Amino acid sequence: MSDALVRLKETLGTIHDLERIASLVAWDQETMMPPLGAEGRADQRATLVRLSHELLVSRELGRLLEELRSREDSLPYDSDEASLIRVVRRDREKALRVPAELRAELIRAGSLGLGAWLDARARQDFRILLPHLERQLELKRRYVECFDPAEDEYDVLLDDFEPGMTTAEAESVLEELKDELVPLVAAVPELDPAEDVARSGPFDLADQRRFSLGLLCELGFEPDGWRLDSAEHPFAMAASLRDVRITTHYHEHPLGGIFACMHEFGHGLYERQVSPSLARTPLATGASSALHESQSRRWENLVGRGRAFWTHAYPGLQETFPERLGAADLDTFYRSINRIQPSLIRVDADEITYNLHIVLRFELEREVLAGRLALADLADAFDARVHSYLGIEVPDVRFGVLQDMHWADFTFGYFPTYSLGNVISVQLWERARADLPELDQAFERGEFGDLREWLREHLHRHGRKFTPRETLERAAGSAIDPAPYIRYLKDKLETTFGVAVA
């Protein structure tokens, strides 16, 4: 390796270490930290982000990248080295726009916001979080101002999660989903509550945990290299390629914690299967939030709410909860976990209404950022939008504006990637099923290795080498396209509930 490349990799290794440590201390904050630690933790997280930012924008790194320009040109586009130089140059150009102090302040304010959110939820009082949101909105506006004026201010925020995608593109996908899905929801008959066995509870929490862990180990969770913990809001992270941590949240009913496990497993596996040749570089992570969500939503829904999977797993679940499920056959259980019915909590929503939860959050974020909606009115606006799209009433803020962690640290721009991920998940799913025609039979035997390997080969191993658009093109063979997803939903409705929709 050339001397410049060695030095580049050293600096990038340091940056990467700091970023992974930042993820770890965030994980610790959500799972382990005593609440009084919040203030010290905010300082620590701000310091980590400031230092890694300073390294990224350093003149030294700029010089190295200049020095390596001809080398980059001489290498194949998809080589690890050319990709590393290319991606870091892009990261650096973006980072140069934002003063380190502003970046640190955003992290610090977000970290404090998370503490306030927990408090606000416990006391069911949005006003506890409000000043934190006001402060963060002000900071986010300053952040947006660091960049060239975009067609839509929201473009800047979306780009942090879905690099290269515009708000207009996201909107066109989400609008198509909304137009197609609202009539679907209306067409599905309500499930008889007596048949709704997945919500029959109470399901003992320790039993759920034991069952989930067993299931995860079948999917590919390695006990020596993964952890499963509880958190207020489930999430996944990788402290390194061989230290993957997922969290879930069990309720006595519905049986949602198991699906949250599968969701977070999808995130974890993406991080786990990045090529070891990219370790300790900025390429050693998923390509974008939507691609990440395409993995989590796949394992949660395409696998985890599928019939083949439960053909294998249901007997074990019945044994775990004989009183609740012993008398319910697989068909009944399958219909119950695929019930389509508007509900309050996004993460527990069915596959169809889930997207309406996303649409309304996307809309509200854009309205807040554009100044058309005051933060003080956000709680009420949230409730009104839920009523308008889902036809249900929000009883209190824990089921409304305070249900998600994402706004506590003002992660605006993230929500749309869930629905984009849903869309992509089916594009990839169709590809994988074409390549692996025996997939259902494998699932019925409890074998998931072929799918894992397909994902590793076509998506995971590339990490962040390519842009999200390039990555999707390589894995799915096409650009983002909601048609397969809509087709999948309609087909599932028909086979599960006999509802035929044009």
Q: How far is the CB of 43 from a second copy (least distance, A)?
A: 6
Q: How far is the CB of 204 from a second copy (least distance, A)?
A: 18
Q: Find the binder of a second copy among 4, 5, 7, 13 (CB under 8 A).
A: 13
Phi, psi of 228 (to 5 degrees): -125, 125
Does residue 25 interact with a second copy by CB under 8 A?
A: yes
User: Which string of x and - marks every residue 276-305 that binds a second copy (by CB under 8 A)?
Assistant: ---xx-------------------------
Residue 223 binds a second copy (CB under 8 A): yes
Catalytic residue among 30, 153, 264, 363: 264
Closer residue to a second copy, CB minimum distance, 39 or 78: 39
Q: Is 264 a catalytic residue?
A: yes
Cβ proximity to a second copy: between 47 and 311 the closer is 47
What's the chain's Rg over C-alpha atoms?
22
To a second copy, the closest distance from the beta carbon of 267 in angstroms equals: 16
Q: What gap in Å lies between CA 285 and CA 268, rounded to an integer?
A: 10
Q: Is residue 20 involved in binding a second copy (CB under 8 A)?
A: yes
- Nearer to a second copy (CB atom), residue 21 or residue 347: 21
- Encoded one letter per residue, x for contact with a second copy by CB under 8 A and - for no contact, window 299-338 reads ----------------------------------------
Alpha helices in 188-255 (DSSP H): 205-219
Binder of a second copy out of 225, 306, 342, 446 (CB under 8 A): 225
Site string for a second copy, 32-71 (x = CB under 8 A): xxxxxx-xxx-xx--xx-xx--------------------
Do you find a cis peptide bond into 234, omega within 30 degrees of 0?
no
CB 31 within 8 A of CB 87: no
Grouping H, G, I as helix, E, B as strand and the rest as coil, residue 227 is: strand
Select from 10-18, 191-199, 376-384, 407-415 the region that touches a second copy (CB under 8 A). 10-18
**Is the Cβ of residue 226 or residue 466 nearer to a second copy in the bound state?**
226
Q: How far apart are CA 126 and CA 374, in angstroms?
A: 14
CB of 264 to a second copy, least distance (A): 15
> Does 99 sit near a second copy (CB under 8 A)?
no
- Establish if 222 lies at the interface with a second copy (CB under 8 A): yes
Residues binding a second copy: what is the number (CB under 8 A)? Answer: 38
Q: Report the C-alpha gap between 485 and 491 in whole angstroms.
A: 10
Burial 154-169 (b: 16+ CB within 10 A, else e): bbbbbbebbbebbbeb
191 — alpha (psi -120 to 50), left (phi > 0) or beta? beta
Our CB check for a second copy shows the closer of 37 and 342 to be 37
Backbone angles phi, psi at 236, to 5 degrees: -130, 155
For the bound state, the minimum distance from the C-beta of residue 279 to a second copy, rounded and expressed in Å, comes to 8
Q: Are 352 and 182 in contact (CB under 8 A)?
A: no
Name the percent of the chain in helix, strand, coil, to the closest 5.
65, 5, 30
Task: Give residue 204's Cα distance to chain centre.
Answer: 27
Query: Do the Cβ atoms of 311 and 443 come closer than 8 Å?
Result: yes
Closest CA to 70 of 60, 81, 61, 78: 81
Within the chain, what is the greatest distance between any pair of CA atoms?
A: 70
The H-or-E segment that residue 172 falls in is helix 167-187
Minimum distance from residue 329 beta carbon to a second copy (Å):
38
Contact region with a second copy (CB under 8 A), list: 16-24, 262-270, 430-438, 477-485: 16-24
Q: In angstroms, give the least distance from the CB of 119 to a second copy.
A: 12
Tokens of 211: 């069952």
Answer yes or no: are the C-beta atoms of 170 and 365 closer than 8 Å. no
Of residues 234-253, those binding a second copy (CB under 8 A): 239-244
Both tokens assigned to 233: 């809001």
Binding site for a second copy (CB under 8 A): 13-14, 17-18, 20-21, 24-25, 28, 32-37, 39-41, 43-44, 47-48, 50-51, 222-227, 239-244, 279-280
Residue numbers annotated as active site: 264
